[in-house]
Structure 1
């Protein structure tokens, strides 16, 4: 009568450890990708909020206000707010009236210089539109 061997072989244990390592690596990569995408969405939201806040401030103060973008320092600033930065791997392009420079100006009647911002990081892209007549600020993800 032979006794059945109990336990696992060393090879079986190594295969299980290898599978767990691969799964952990894929999970870590997925989390990192998700966190990066969330950070990018947060930056888009912060830009929209800064522009909307600047418009509201212009209306309330009855004076022209502007959100300034520094494309070299990767930052933007709304009046009365701290300077905010976007990730170095995110490309930001600003299209607005030439006289405004690298800024979007809002006027006491709610209008603005208008224009749009294009934000891109790899295959992910967003567009923030600023209406010149109404000063409305809208963002959307691009395909």
Structure 2
């Protein structure tokens, strides 16, 4: 008569398969969290720029969004300090006399410029129009 049950080899095979599945799942979740942090950082930067423009128009005073490029931080007037992931590169092009900042003026215009953000093969561009102060985000091919 043969006993019912699993052999040690079968049990080890199931454990190995479960470990591989968990490894693949954790890798996928990690990538998903990185992508979510990227999207949130982009939304935060665009939101800070748009909010500064709105505040400038409503208050009648110039407003600046300042960037600390080495510290991966940005600050808009009246808003909490924002951050972007350290492995997300940011390059800012704006008026030379402002330093690392984008200025908005009461008539709705701005100093203009753009921000290039990149991680690996992915890149985004945030354009700030100088005439209307409009802020646009686009993914680059």
List alignment gaps of at least 5 residues for structure 2. Answer: none
Aligned Cα root-mean-square deviation (Å): 1.1
Structure 1 position 127, deviation (Å)? 1.1
Give the alignment's TM-score, normalised by structure 1: 0.94
Which residue of structure 1 lines up, in the alignment, with residue 103 of structure 2?
105
What is the CA deviation profile of residues 9-43 of structure 1, one whole-angstrom value per residue up to 9, with x for unaligned ones? 11111111101100011000100110011011100
TM-score by length of 2: 0.95
Q: What secondary structure sits across from 2:9 in the alignment?
A: helix
Cα distance in structure 2, aligned partners of 1:30 and 1:116: 32
2:3 maps to 1:8: no
The CA distance in 1 between the partners of 2:7 and 2:80, in whole Å, is 61
Q: Which range moves more in the overlay, 118-127 or 35-44?
A: 118-127
Unmatched runs of 5 consecutive residues or more in structure 1: none
Does residue 83 in structure 1 map to residue 96 in structure 2? no
SS in 2 for 1:141: strand
What secondary structure is seen at the aligned counterpart in 1 of 2:15?
helix
Match for residue 20 of structure 1? Answer: 18
* 1:5 CA drift (Å): 3.8
From 33, 39, 63, the equivalent of 1:65 is: 63
- 1:60 partner SS: helix
2:91 aligned residue: 93
Aligned to 1:38: 36
